[in-house]
Amino acid sequence: MHSEKISAIGASAMPRGHALLTNPALNKGTAYTERERDALGLRGLLPPRVFTLEEQKQRALGNLRRKPNPLEKYIFLTTLQARNETLFYRLVQDNIEETMPLVYTPTVGQACIEYGSIFRRPRGLFISLREKGRIAEILRHWPVADVRMIVVTDGERILGLGDLGALGMGIPVGKLSLYTACAGVHPSYCLPITLDVGTDNETLLKDPFYIGLRQKRARSAEYDEFLREFVEAVKTVYPKALLQWEDFGNTNAFRLLEENRKKLLSFNDDIQGTAAVAIAGLIGSLRLTGQKLADQRILFLGAGEAGTGIADLFVAAAQKAGLSEADARARCCFVDSQGLVVKNRPGRPLAHHKIPYAHDRAFVATLAEAVDALKPTALIGVSGTPRTFTEQIVRRMAEFNANPVIFALSNPTSKAECTAEEAYKWTDGRAIFASGSPFDPVTLNGKTYTPGQGNNVYIFPGVGLGALACGAREVTDRMFLAAAETLAGQVAKADLDLGRVYPALTKIREVSLKIAVAVAEEAYRENLATAPRPADLEADIAAKMYEPVYHDLV
């Protein structure tokens, strides 16, 4: 699946000389051998000493660490990626705990805000409303014909930062970098896309240097026609591709997923990936609390894509554990900007995706009141509103839970509902805490707690790898439940002893492989796989994973 990417390049097609040095997929920089330098016209274009990939990595790592702040480090890494993909992925993969917060959350949030200012070299496709009627043609402008993995955004809801329009391209670029680093999806298979339909961000519309369309965001029929053309174009131009919907606004995200999930191999990471990683953390927490999944009472702050996605997957998991659908739904309650979601709530009508969780109970206006009324076992923040898990609320959770589950999942770090230190301090170290962005370990009363990062990176790379490996026709909710259960199963006792309900990021490729196998197995069970089932599924998928090493070019 991946090894042919180099060998398929014939001698006549191989770039030479300066053109080779500017090809990031083939560039080896100072690592070209003496033989390659002579055969490929590189003699004199490079300094004479030949370095190994490991030596190049150590030099690049030193340069990275000398950068003064995370944004400068992000720029360094993206520049390296545009120059030498193999070296970039070797560095990221071997230092994943250090580099993932730079490549993705939390740094990518600031990178998106400043994407126009730090723009160096285009990566991916920007498809705007101006290209309506020509989207298939634009897709064919991409230099790779065999695209297998697309991450697309329209920039309306970037992390917890809101509408960033065309600046949201940092998200697809970052996610696809993690597909390669964390799950071995070959970089040549990956295509980031931003659909520029305008922006309602007044600051951007007034910015003379904004890189996107300076017009209000398209809505209704104009938007729908554009998206339909895009989906059909992807199906035509890249029939083997999996498409990941990313950071679309609530109004469109649910609808686009439901309209297209059976037409096009696709999923929404904000809805389904977030759900799987949260449910995995919840399952892991049971090993610390000694409770059962069916005993949980979950209160969500935020009733958008992430929250209702988590609740839907919890319902599926609870049904598998023996609860009826009605009983499982009754164990999930939501507080949104208007208060507790209940039937007959005063004010504007409930959005469609909230109705299944609008229970027949008394309305309360605040999260604190909801905690008092419902006495949840788990409090999950997906609101994008920072510091909303106050000391009063967290301490109250600790009054009726020996080990309250506090998941502050909003990204980036500045949007987290509370910090790890606050959760542990306000519960005297009894909280089971996880967050969307990383927090440093916390020492309290002589004990050190290492918070888990409930980041979707544990889920989406493995799901995508598994779906591609078996040639899945559809990505189902059962596959995400299988991914969640598999991730929970990778949490070792040593992890739990540290207080975290996720495995170390250093094990991410191993975790992604296990998830890919579970997803593929589910595809075979559901008769959704098109590839013949190999005798050893895990070995077959592992053999297809890209490894960032240099190949001989002559």
**How confident is the model over 341-388, as pLDDT tens digits?**
999 898 889 999 999 999 999 999 999 999 999 999 999 999 999 999
Where is the domain boundary, 440, 456, 472? 456
Where is the domain boundary, 221, 245, 264? 264
Residue 206 maps to a domain? yes
- Residue 412 confidence class, pLDDT cut points 50, 70, 90: confident
**Percent of the chain whose pLDDT exceeds 90:** 93
- Could you tell me if 258 and 293 lie in one domain? no
Q: Which helix (H) or strand (E) holds 329?
A: helix 325-330
CA distance 493 to 517: 23
- Could you tell me if 280 and 257 lie in one domain? no
- Could you tell me if 285 and 260 lie in one domain? no
The CATH number that applies at residue 291 is 3.40.50.720
Q: What's the pLDDT at 9?
A: 38
CA distance 377 to 82: 47
Q: Answer whether residue 5 shows pLDDT above 60.
A: no
Please report the DSSP string for 346-397 in residue order. SSSPPPGGGGGG-BSS---SSHHHHHHHH--SEEEE-SS-TT-S-HHHHHHH
Q: Which residues are the active-site residues?
A: 104, 175
Residue 96 maps to a domain? yes
- Could you tell me if 312 and 408 lie in one domain? yes
Residue 13 maps to a domain? no
- Could you tell me if 178 and 258 lie in one domain? yes
The answer to whether residues 121 and 90 touch, using CB atoms and an 8 Å cutoff, is no
The answer to whether residues 445 and 429 touch, using CB atoms and an 8 Å cutoff, is yes
The CATH number that applies at residue 538 is 3.40.50.10380
- Could you tell me if 284 and 161 lie in one domain? no
- Could you tell me if 218 and 102 lie in one domain? yes
Residue 20 maps to a domain? no
CA distance 442 to 292: 28
Residue 347 maps to a domain? yes
Residue 312 maps to a domain? yes
Q: What's the pLDDT at 347?
A: 87
Q: Provide the residue range defining the domain that includes 425.
A: 272-456
Helices 460-469 and 170-183 cross at an angle (nearest 10°) of 70
**Percent of the chain whose pLDDT exceeds 70:** 98
- Could you tell me if 127 and 231 lie in one domain? yes
- Could you tell me if 344 and 423 lie in one domain? yes
Q: How many domains does the chain have?
A: 3
Please tell me what DSSP assigns to residue 301. E
| β-bridge mates for residue 244, sequence order | 151, 267
Helix ranges restricted to H, 84-219:
85-94, 96-103, 107-113, 115-118, 135-139, 170-183, 202-205
CA distance 115 to 112: 5
- Could you tell me if 280 and 252 lie in one domain? no
- Could you tell me if 393 and 247 lie in one domain? no
- Could you tell me if 403 and 528 lie in one domain? no
At position 186, the amino acid (one-letter code) is: H
User: Which whole-number Å values give the CA distances from 523 to 268, 274, 280, 356, 533, in the listed order?
Assistant: 18, 20, 20, 28, 10
Q: Write down the pTM of the prediction.
A: 0.94
Helix%, strand%, coil% for the chain, nearest 5: 50, 10, 40
Alpha carbon 447 to chain centroid distance? 32
Where is the domain boundary, 264, 292, 324? 264
Residue 479 maps to a domain? yes
